[in-house]
Amino acid sequence: MQEAGRKNTKGYTLIEIMIVVVIIGIIAAVAIPQYKQYVIRGNRSAAQAFMMDIANRQKQYLLDARVYAPDLTTLTMTVPTNVSNNYSCCTMTLNASGTAPSFTITATPIAGKAQANDGNLTLDDLGNKGATPSKW
């Protein structure tokens, strides 16, 4: 004879399932935006590291040729895919007039990508870093 109640029943009630769904929804609401920000910071760091590499190679090129290289091809560099997917990188502006040659490297975020709100990242020959909203 079976006793009244749920002694021999197996499974979950609808209330238990709904509680689990609500908890998963709360966790997702917090975790997804944080993950997106983490990805954006990682993409920005990759672009900044590549720009620093360009600046270092420009300094080496200046020692050899007495001028800065006009483009990445001259420096035998190619833009990594993790940078080119998010930024139009890297425009170099050279200034040969004046007392000393100088350069400015600019990385422009691609419209419609996650980095679009970053603004332009810039780095010059003196190591000055800039961004439209400050992101360095």
Alpha-carbon dihedral sign for residues 15, 17, 21, 24: positive
Q: What digits encode the pLDDT tens for the residues 31-88?
A: 999 999 999 999 999 999 999 999 999 999 999 988 888 889 999 999 999 999 999 8
Q: What is the mean pLDDT of the chain?
A: 87
Q: pTM of the full predicted structure?
A: 0.77
Contact 121, 50 (CB under 8 A): no
Give the integer Cα–Cα distance in Å for 50 and 89.
Answer: 9
